[in-house]
Amino acid sequence: MQDYYETLQVHPKADPEAIESAYFRLRERYDPAKLEAAADEIQALARQRRDEIEQAYAVLRDPQRREAYDHEQAQHQPELPAGDDDDNAIDYRPLPPAGRRERPEGFDAQPKGGRTSRPPQTRKGRPTKRSAGGLPIWVVPSLIVGLATFGIVMTTLVITLLNSNNAMAPAAGPQGFESLTTPTAVATPSLDTVIAQFEGQVVAARQVAERVPENFNAWIELGNALYDSVVVVRERLARGDPTARQAYIERLPRWLEAADAYAKAAELDPQSALAYADMAASFCYYGQDISDMSYVEQGIAHAERALELDATEGRALLSAGICYAFNEPPQITEALAQWQMLVVMPDAEPNLVFQARQLIQEYSR
């Protein structure tokens, strides 16, 4: 059964204004006129998503149909322990570090029920205090600290996965979308396993952002979760995994969802070079893979804004180079200059330096 709330990317308790706003935003995103240059399969996916969006909105905009749908949905939901509700059933605490390893198969990134079937306990066995808004007191400071590190953990996870097989290809090839199919023999976990691990992160990050919409880090981490969930599939496709093509096509719109999350973060902190840098990369990957240079142009503008805010921000240098390389015609000299600056920066993050070196090698051939 189609989850209409998931289709419109709104909370089940969203008010009519939020539902209408989400509908028009998604309807515009899947406008066929914007995808005329894309591959046939991408256009077919857009038409399918547009139909799903229209169907979801038709039900959720009508109070009576929405009530009937909610009742039907409730019949298909697993029962929660007594006293639980939709919000309290989620454990919002940051996940433990991945230890530079893939999460084991079956890892639950969105635990439910078990922690709320009895009074919440601290590690020492005392009841957890709650704020006036109903959130445990540890949520806000945990968000600031835990969410700030979540992106680093996830990025490290992706880079470690790719580096461990000594076969990482840059996430973007000079020949566009079709260049992503160059065969390379690798030994990695199944695609379904990898996708499942990242899907849990997306769900958890989205719920946190909905609960604390004024928190800059919450939107950054939602953007990171969406970004990582699609880039990991893109990398699998680049290394010749034939099962990754359809999965990547289905996830293409997540580049724009990630860009939206980074844009919200930028609204909260207009001086954040990081928010603009990751927004730039999201637009440029999407634009290149659907062959729409208008998105690449937006990405270049955001990347240059990031560099204006902080010329030493590693993500800004990396993203600017990617966007220049994707431009039409490609600005390879400018791209290499950005990556070379990143490589020689004394305090640059090692994983960013690693990606820059790979890109320099790829585009210097």
pLDDT in tens, the chain (365 residues): 678 888 887 878 888 888 888 888 888 777 777 666 666 767 777 778 788 888 889 889 888 888 888 888 887 765 544 444 444 444 444 455 444 444 454 545 554 443 333 333 322 332 333 333 444 444 444 454 455 445 544 544 444 444 444 333 344 433 334 344 444 444 557 888 878 888 888 888 988 998 899 999 999 999 999 999 998 888 888 888 888 888 888 888 889 999 999 999 999 999 999 999 999 999 999 999 888 899 999 999 999 999 999 999 999 999 999 999 999 999 999 999 999 999 998 888 998 999 999 999 999 87
What is the model's pLDDT at position 214? Answer: 92
Residue 130, classed as helix, strand or coil, is: strand
| Inside any domain, residue 278 | no
What is the model's pLDDT at position 365? Answer: 79
Query: What does DSSP assign to residue 114?
Result: T
What is the model's pLDDT at position 273? Answer: 94
Backbone φ, ψ for residue 112 (5° rounding): -130, 155
Q: Which residues have CB under 8 Å from 244's CB, separation 6+? A: 191, 233, 234, 236, 237
What is the model's pLDDT at position 149? Answer: 46
Choose one of 269, 302, 324: the last residue of a domain: 269
What is the model's pLDDT at position 79? Answer: 54
What is the model's pLDDT at position 130? Answer: 35
What is the model's pLDDT at position 121? Answer: 32
| Inside any domain, residue 256 | yes
What is the model's pLDDT at position 105? Answer: 47
Residue 45 CA from chain centroid, whole number: 19
Direct distance between the N- and C-terminal alpha carbons of the chain, in angstroms, rounded to an integer: 50
Residue 327 sits in a domain whose CATH number is 1.25.40
Only one residue has tokens 């989620």, namely 90
Where on the phi/psi map is residue 125: left (φ > 0), alpha (ψ -120 to 50), or beta?
left
Q: Are residues 125 and 264 in the same domain?
A: yes
Q: Are residues 238 and 293 in the same domain?
A: no
Choose one of 212, 239, 269: the last residue of a domain: 269
Q: How far is the C-alpha of 26 from the C-alpha of 14, rounded, in Å? A: 16
Residue 8 sits in a domain whose CATH number is 1.10.287.110
Q: Are residues 108 and 66 in the same domain?
A: no
What is the model's pLDDT at position 36? Answer: 66
Residue 144, classed as helix, strand or coil, is: helix
- The candidate with the shortest Cα–Cα distance to 2, out of 44, 37, 53, is 53
Q: Are residues 139 and 237 in the same domain?
A: yes
Query: What does DSSP assign to residue 119?
Result: -
Q: Are residues 290 and 253 in the same domain?
A: no
What is the model's pLDDT at position 75? Answer: 78
Q: Which residues have CB under 8 Å from 358's CB, separation 6+? A: 168, 169, 170
Where on the phi/psi map is residue 56: left (φ > 0), alpha (ψ -120 to 50), or beta?
alpha
Longest dimension (CA), the chain: 63
Q: Supply the range of the domain harboring residue 314.
A: 283-365
